[in-house]
Amino acid sequence: MTEQRGNWTSSAGFILAATGSAIGLGNLWKFPFITWENNGGAFVLVYLVCIAAVGLPIMMAELLIGRKTQKSAVGALKEAVGPAWGLVGLWGVLCGFTLLSYYTVIAGWSLYFFAKTAGWMVGGFPAGTSLGQVFTEQSANGGLQIALSLGFSVATVSVVYFGVQKGIEKIARLFLPVLFLILALLFTVSFAMDGSREALTFIFRPSFNELDGGSVLEALGHAFFTLSLGMGAMITYGSYIARNQSIVKASGVIVLLDTVIALVATVIMFTVIFTAGMQDQVGDTGTVGMLFISLPQLFFAEGIVPGGSFLAPLFYVLVALAALTSTMSLLEVVTSYIIDEHEIERGKATLACGSVVFLFTILAALSFGGADFASNLSAPGRIGNLLFAGKTSWFGMADHFVSNWMLPTGGLAITVAAGWFMTRESTESELVDETVPGWFSYDTWRFFIRYISPAAVAAIVVAVLFFGVDFS
């Protein structure tokens, strides 16, 4: 099989693809909202520490396991660590599967809001429109939700179908620069707005008395999510890296870009909110509110965002592109497992995986009022009550399970594998070669991957298991 495997055509192609996987709804949807909830400053600082101390070393570990073995998650862990570790890989595949099934639904909303805002750009914003109502109506419309998710799934399948070079890398090379440009444009505009100072202060001035243990764990959990770690996506992408490319350098660039983009997106959103003086209302609309209720409203409100009616559809193009470069990495985890371990040809494997995942996407799509059986799992006798008390929809339950259980446990297993089960020689030979940058110290990496990362991740697992902390 090894000869037939795809490879990235260049280091830049790989870095763009992996950065595309990392940058996604986590950066544009989750991070701004949890920063808001945790009162900015100190939370952002803790998040940055988690990214550097836990995210970066694990990114290197996943990529090295992939490149060393040239296999996708299951095969890679079996070969690098031992046969039983294939189970950890399988856990990752299951996680990719579940995450993809509901991530697609939110991605589908970006299509809807693109169409809506493009319509308002052309035809004018109808006076008195309530964005809260627009949002609730679209999300409760089961048929519409299935259609939007289907559109997005088809896009994802079409990319992965064409493989690593002609599909994933090509799309990443094309779309990521567009994404950076749109973000740069929005960022520039936000500096001309009144609220930008207030936004920057909120995000960057730490006040530690607002921080509690739960916030620290939330920052750590999000570091996994946003960097696509803990479920084998980076192992899989790492398996297509050529020998002469530096894992250390690439990890540095991916982590840096992901972090900068999350901060830039947050600055933009908060600037809009502060300029409009909407800070009191944002919290009420929940996680989805900021991206799909507050922002579209503000783009069209007079005197807030210069050129807002033009920037609004562009903003949802940004969200859609960021989501697509992530969904394709999720589908690749599942598909490459089927290709490698069951020797099924890529085209067939992609269609089969895409279709099975979509069956679960339907459940997630109907979770916002589209169908009672998916929206209301906590009705008497339904599984919501038994499994995850308090989560009332299929969507909420899947997100809860992935963010709280699957990513942290998978991540813990991967750090332990790289730090304790793989030999020093086998990891050192992947990380240290003539391409290694001067700032990197192997011994420091080894110390982090053996002690700091597992301890931090174990803290999340314990918090979830014994103290009921919830990151979803």
The contact set with ligand PHE (CB under 6 A) reads: 21-22, 24-27, 99, 225-226, 228, 231, 233, 326, 329-330
CA-to-CA distance for 297 and 82, rounded, in angstroms? 53
The full length of the chain comes to 472
Residue 71 vs 274, nearer CB to ligand PHE: 71
In the complex, minimum distance from the CB of residue 324 to ligand PHE, in angstroms, rounded to a whole number: 11
Residue 70 vs 329, nearer CB to ligand PHE: 329
Residue 85 vs 97, nearer CB to ligand PHE: 97
For helices 308-342 and 142-161, the axis angle rounded to 10 degrees is: 60
Please, what's the b/e burial string for 269-300 (b: 16 or more CB within 10 A of its CB; e: otherwise)? bbbbbbbbebeeebeebebebbbbbbbbbbbb
CA-to-CA distance for 289 and 292, rounded, in angstroms? 5
Collect all residues with Cβ–Cβ distance below 8 Å to 174 and sequence separation of at least 6.
none
Residue 262 vs 463, nearer CB to ligand PHE: 262
Q: Which two tokens stand for residue 23?
A: 């940058």
Q: Which two tokens stand for residue 124?
A: 């004018």
In the complex, minimum distance from the CB of residue 389 to ligand PHE, in angstroms, rounded to a whole number: 25
Does residue 394 contact residue 377 with C-beta atoms inside 8 Å?
yes
Residue 228 vs 297, nearer CB to ligand PHE: 228
Residue 94 vs 377, nearer CB to ligand PHE: 94
Q: How far is CA 298 from CA 31, 35, 266, 274, 293, in A?
A: 20, 20, 15, 11, 9
Residue 106 vs 189, nearer CB to ligand PHE: 106
N- to C-terminal Cα separation, the chain = 38
In the complex, minimum distance from the CB of residue 282 to ligand PHE, in angstroms, rounded to a whole number: 21
In the complex, minimum distance from the CB of residue 300 to ligand PHE, in angstroms, rounded to a whole number: 26
Residue 16 vs 99, nearer CB to ligand PHE: 99
Specify burial of residue 376 (Cβ count, 10 A radius: 0-12, 13-18, 19+): middle
In the complex, minimum distance from the CB of residue 224 to ligand PHE, in angstroms, rounded to a whole number: 8
Q: Which two tokens stand for residue 353?
A: 């995986």
CA-to-CA distance for 416 and 66, rounded, in angstroms? 16
Residue 46 vs 371, nearer CB to ligand PHE: 46
In the complex, minimum distance from the CB of residue 225 to ligand PHE, in angstroms, rounded to a whole number: 6
CA-to-CA distance for 94 and 405, rounded, in angstroms? 12
In the complex, minimum distance from the CB of residue 107 to ligand PHE, in angstroms, rounded to a whole number: 10
224, 225, 230, 232: CA torsion to nearest 10 = -130
Does residue 261 contact residue 325 with C-beta atoms inside 8 Å?
no
3-class secondary-structure state, position 311: helix
In the complex, minimum distance from the CB of residue 233 to ligand PHE, in angstroms, rounded to a whole number: 4
In the complex, minimum distance from the CB of residue 313 to ligand PHE, in angstroms, rounded to a whole number: 21
CA-to-CA distance for 411 and 408, rounded, in angstroms? 5
In the complex, minimum distance from the CB of residue 190 to ligand PHE, in angstroms, rounded to a whole number: 21
The single-letter DSSP state of residue 5 is -
Residue 329 vs 361, nearer CB to ligand PHE: 329
